Structure 1
Amino acid sequence: MNIQPIEIQANLSRTIRAIEAEAWMDMLDAAPPSVRKQLGIETFRSDNACFLACRELSAVPFNRGFAVEPQWSANDKEMAEGVRWLDRNASKTWVIQVDEEGFNASSAALSRMGVIQKDSGWIKFFSRAVPHIVPNEPRIEIADGNRKASDFANVINAGYGFPTATFEWFKALASRDRWTCYVAYADDEPCSAGAAFVGSAGAWFGVDATLVSARGKGLQSAVIARRLRDVRDKGAVIAMAETGRPATVDSPLGTSFRNYQRAGFEAQHYSANFARDRSVPRGATPVFMM
């Protein structure tokens, strides 16, 4: 199975980043005020980049920055503003994602700010919103009521090992405009979940989780296929998703990667993760003296 991205198409990559920014900012905004305060949730958009913070939840996807437009890497002042914002608001595990487009310029600028490459990061996928049939599709329900919304939130919390506070957040997400949250059941037990956001530029798929006891049964693939059919019916032409970049196609960490590829998603580009170099005193970096 190929893990190489297709030839980079600048316009498509920008569309993917625009979809991602709109979805993630709206997801964080969905948290009830008490949850926002307890978890330290904040969002920020500069001219060309998006920043997310969830200070008390040390999960990288919720504590990061990424460019929405390539001009970001050409503006040291705007880049420094984003780094300072993450330092003030995000968990210490924050990262900045750098795409292949403009990688050299972005990585050089971040290095001057004491932010260096941490790992290979994530792969951004896209798919045309077309029907995809999964044989023996399990029971999948839209989390449109209190009980189903609770099932959705419980699967997410258990699947990711999130703190109790996130339960009310993901329960609220299930009833938020432009979001559809799904629960897959096995033997009448909620075992897998995923969400779809339909924004102005296309659809975003994420918040995928399957309980350990139910993995390997095709539940995530079925939820992906259901979302593709539903977002098409809502007018979305393109859908995007993101997964960790596996070292090889056989890596255990590549399960979601393989499931999205089987569903017809193509790898559009890589995003490497950059994190603060803890060996460099922040005061020694000139940009922080501005």
Structure 2
Amino acid sequence: MKTTTVNSLIAIEKVESEAWLDMYAAAPDSYVTSSKTSYARLGTSVGLADQGVPIAEFNRVLGLGIAEPLSEEGLDQAIAWMNEHASELYSLQIPPTALPDMIHEWIQAKGFKRTGRGWAKYYRDSMPVESHPMPTTLEVRLVEPHHATDFGYAAQVGFGFPESLISWFSALAGRPKWRVYVAYEANHPVACGAMFIDKNWAWLGIDATLPDYRGRGAQNALIKQRLTDGIALGVTGFTAETGQPPEGQEDTNKSYCNYHRAGFNRVYVRPNYMKVD
């Protein structure tokens, strides 16, 4: 792969931010009310909050300092919004292109600490997609709105989320910029994956497989189908992310290996900063 440019790194962050922002905008009113879900553009960054799902994936700030240098006042405003709306377990995610460099110092001075191993961010261009050496027997289908609950069900069960999230994930089927896919055994939904396309960039996410069907190649097939369809639609840059495995153990992480096998390369690890008690 060619060296990833700064503009590409910024685009990787932007398309992910826009995907999550639009996903929150799609949440049904009943879910928003019951789970206390909210989202906002915080200057050039994005704030996501879901008190009903108190994990960092659903409670975080993305894109701090990527479109233009962040001011300390802007950081304070983002933190204040999160303190008001998000679960206590929220995170601030800082990409390598964030400006100014002192963002990390500001965050730590405000009581935040880098936690965990961070998120591995991947990039892939539009080179042809190769077939997996061991094709799955599962059938991957693009989900139309009348089968939306198949996607919602696979995502909810695959991730082990509350049943209330079925309606939220289902709302993405047929939504502009989104294409959602399900892997079926016969007509039973057993795995899923989504693709959000904004201009010529695509974000791949919501990759989930029911426990009894893991290890059968569903995610390899779902990644291939999304890449194939995205390339046909004119996408030139794809991105995705997984948790960063421990050093030296990357080959034991299935999600990490699935994306590398599909031609993605890890371009950076994005740290999470969380409030220290």
Q: TM-score, normalised by structure 2?
A: 0.91
Task: Tell me which amino acid in the other structure corresponds to 2:257.
Answer: R
SS in 2 for 1:56: coil
Q: 1:112 to 1:248 in 2, by over 3 A?
A: closer
Q: How does 1:248-259 map to 2 (within 5 A)?
A: 248=247, 250=249, 254-259=253-258
For structure 1, the residue ranges without an aligned partner over 5 or more in a row are 279-290
Q: 1:276 to 1:107 in 2, by over 3 A?
A: same
Question: Which residue in 2 is equivalent to 1:85?
Answer: 81
Measured in 2, the distance between the counterparts of 1:102 and 1:68 equals 6
Question: Shift in Å at residue 81 of structure 1?
Answer: 0.5
- Structure 1 contact 18–201 (Cα < 8 Å) conserved: no
- Structure 2 contact 14–63 (Cα < 8 Å) conserved: no
Task: Work out which of the residue numbers 86, 93, 105 in structure 1 matches 2:102.
Answer: 105
Question: Shift in Å at residue 227 of structure 1?
Answer: 0.1
- Structure 1 contact 129–238 (Cα < 8 Å) conserved: yes
Question: 1:136-183 CA distances to partner (integer Å, 9 max, x unpaired)?
Answer: 34311111043x322211111111111121111111111211111101
Question: Which residue in 2 is equivalent to 1:287?
Answer: none
Question: Which residue in 2 is equivalent to 1:165?
Answer: 164
Measured in 2, the distance between the counterparts of 1:239 and 1:274 equals 26
Task: Work out which of the residue numbers 44, 53, 57 in structure 1 matches 2:53.
Answer: 57
Which structure is higher in RCO with an 8 Å CA cutoff and minimum separation 6? Answer: 1
SS in 2 for 1:80: helix
Backbone CA RMSD of aligned residues: 2.1
- Structure 2 contact 96–270 (Cα < 8 Å) conserved: yes
- Structure 2 contact 122–266 (Cα < 8 Å) conserved: yes
Question: Shift in Å at residue 277 of structure 1?
Answer: 1.0
Bigger helix share: 1
Question: Shift in Å at residue 193 of structure 1?
Answer: 0.4
Measured in 2, the distance between the counterparts of 1:25 and 1:150 equals 21
Task: Work out which of the residue numbers 16, 20, 31 in structure 2 matches 1:35.
Answer: 31
Question: Shift in Å at residue 46 of structure 1?
Answer: 2.3
Q: 1:201 to 1:86 in 2, by over 3 A?
A: farther
Question: 1:183-211 CA distances to partner (integer Å, 9 max, x unpaired)?
Answer: 11235432110000111351110000011
Q: 1:226 to 1:131 in 2, by over 3 A?
A: farther
Question: Which residue in 1 is equivalent to 2:178?
Answer: 179
- Structure 2 contact 250–257 (Cα < 8 Å) conserved: no
SS in 2 for 1:57: coil
Q: TM-score, normalised by structure 1?
A: 0.87
Question: Residue 134 in 1 paired to residue 135 in 2?
Answer: no
Question: 1:70-89 CA distances to partner (integer Å, 9 max, x unpaired)?
Answer: 46664100011101111111
For structure 2, the residue ranges without an aligned partner over 5 or more in a row are none
Measured in 1, the distance between the counterparts of 2:200 and 2:41 equals 17
> Which 10-residue stretch deviates more, 62-71 or 123-132?
62-71
Question: Shift in Å at residue 131 of structure 1?
Answer: 3.4
Question: 1:255-290 CA distances to partner (integer Å, 9 max, x unpaired)?
Answer: 111100100011121110000111xxxxxxxxxxxx
Aligned residues: 273
